[in-house]
Amino acid sequence: MDIKELNERIAQESGFITLLDSEMRKVIIGQKEMLDRLLIGLLANGHILLEGVPGLAKTLAIKSLAMAIKARFSRIQFTPDLLPADLIGTMIYSQKTEEFVVRKGPLFANFILADEINRAPAKVQSALLEAMQERQVTIGDHSFSLEEPFLVLATENPLEQEGTYPLPEAQVDRFMLKVMIDYPAKEEEKQILRQNMQMDFPVTNPVIEPADIIKARRVVREVYLDEKIENYITDIVFATRYPAEYKLPELEPMISYGGSPRASISMALAAKAYAFIRQRGYVIPEDVRAVCHDVMRHRIGLTYEAEAESITTEKIIDQVLNKVEVP
């Protein structure tokens, strides 16, 4: 298939994105970047870690997305006393049948909001992250596949650190994107205020089926990724591992570890999904740059020296993007 044919096909197949976007914008004002990232995660089959203060419509966004796709939604509030069985389910004894039966947990849904994931202990975090990676859970002797599409949106509260269990770096790597959410603009906040003062709050209507998302994921994989773009992606990731080789020797003492091969895969898939959302059948360097911060910010380890000098992963990614040659 040539690029022209592919472009026409992508334009046709991605028509539902406009419908989804307009439905979600009925209830979500502003936060365009968050909505875009939700769609990227959905189309690229990757999970998202959101960081932002409370009240920025994180729960409302994923709930609205689930309603627009006619999919099942579960919200799990993570607390220090949570157990893995509270997520995946457990075996209970039935007196009627005199045998143990499986009682499935809230993880058996299409969209999972893991609220304040860093409040739960490591065992619970591992249970969720295993389900994310394997797309299945084991209860007793039985393994159950999770229904597709399956998207986990985990949130972290950056304000309170008491009684929290930070996610291990190796586990954070399983999230395709880490999105930082900021406050809305002044005009947007006035619209939010007016909307919430109305008698009838807008409701999201179902516009597509889960099967449409599964079909779209296959089409996203077909988006053309040129070898020059592949080289660009690998150069960005390698520059975080071996900065001196990319004329960034000043970053060497700042980085304890760089992006893993999962970073390259995630960046390629996210760039393809971004191109699909823009109704384009091929990836351009701007697509890679658009998703780079969200893919890389949780995959770069900082040294004590970097923290002492207030160097953030954002600054490191900026320097890498400025130095690595754009095709």
**Domain boundary residue among 212, 235, 250?**
212
Closest of 174, 168, 169, 167 to residue 152, by C-alpha: 174
- Cβ contacts of residue 275 below 8 Å, gap of 6+? 10, 223, 281, 282, 283, 284, 287
> How many domains would you assign to the chain?
2
E strands in the chain: 48-51, 73-77, 89-94, 99-104, 111-115, 136-139, 142-145, 151-156, 177-180, 255-257, 301-302
pLDDT at 159: 64
Indicate whether 162 and 26 sit together in one domain.
yes
| Residue 224, SS3 per DSSP | strand
| Residue 47, SS3 per DSSP | coil
Residue 1's pLDDT band (cuts 50, 70, 90): low
Rounded distance between C-alpha atoms, residue 136 and residue 52, angstroms: 29
* Structure-token match 């994923």, residue found: 62
Indicate whether 181 and 67 sit together in one domain.
yes
Give the range among 138-147, 209-218, 222-231, 303-312 with minimum mean pLDDT: 138-147
Indicate whether 290 and 186 sit together in one domain.
no
Token output for 91: 């075996």
pLDDT at 292: 95
Rounded distance between C-alpha atoms, residue 279 and residue 216, angstroms: 12
**Domain boundary residue among 187, 212, 237?**
212
pLDDT in tens, 159-218: 656 556 677 776 788 899 999 888 888 898 898 888 888 877 788 888 888 888 999 999
Region 213-225: mean pLDDT is: 91
Indicate whether 236 and 91 sit together in one domain.
no
**Domain boundary residue among 154, 186, 212?**
212
Residue 13's pLDDT band (cuts 50, 70, 90): confident
pLDDT at 264: 95
pLDDT in tens, 245-268: 999 899 899 999 888 899 999 999
Provide the β-strand partners of residue 103. Answer: 90
The per-residue pLDDT of the chain, averaged, comes to: 87
pLDDT at 319: 93
Q: Which domain holds residue 178?
A: 15-197+208-212
Claim: this prediction has a pTM higher than 0.85: yes
CATH number at residue 315: 1.10.8.80
